[in-house]
Amino acid sequence: METTYIMIKPDGVQRNLVAPILERFLAKGYILRGLKFMNVSKSLAETHYSDLSAKPFFGALVDYIISGPVVAIALEGKDVVAQARKLIGATNPLASAPGTIRGDYSIEIGRNVIHGSDSVENATKELALWFSEGLVDNNPVLRSQIYE
């Protein structure tokens, strides 16, 4: 079983998309292991996106992520890292398919409402960064209705 890091970015929060976005992941069957509504410090945003620090849009990206509160989410499930990326859709909303979160809820790459870890290795790093206090045990009986 894997766990991934999902973040509803400030635009998603301000546009009241927290509930519809969460609904998609939870209705699919992924299990909540962490959920926090929080402001993001500049240093946390810079660390999270450190791989992109040389990109020309890095400053604007950090300003965007710290522009308002985010919802930090840890989700557990079979193959959840790759599957969540599919549900989220392509980075640029102009390329993301209808039916995906970005395809349905956003227009511009610089306001693409949500983040999802792009590999199991990065998910582990991001979960340690955003949920340094650890994840919550969550073992609902209903799991037997999700997996065979």
- Which parts of this chain interact with ligand RTP (CB under 6 A)? 52, 57, 61, 91, 109-110, 112, 115-116, 118
Annotated binding residue at 24?
Answer: no
- Give me 115's structure tokens: 């983040």
Active site residue 48: no
CA separation for the pair 97, 105 (Å, rounded) = 11
Nearer to ligand RTP, 110 or 140 (CB): 110
Annotated binding residue at 112?
Answer: yes
- DSSP-derived 3-state class of residue 75: strand
Supply the minimum distance, in Å, between the C-beta of residue 66 and ligand RTP: 13
Residues 6+ apart with CB under 8 A from 42: 62, 66
Nearer to ligand RTP, 92 or 143 (CB): 92
Annotated binding residue at 15?
Answer: no
- Asked whether 65 and 24 are in contact (CB, 8 A), the reply is no
Q: Catalytic residues, which ones? A: 115
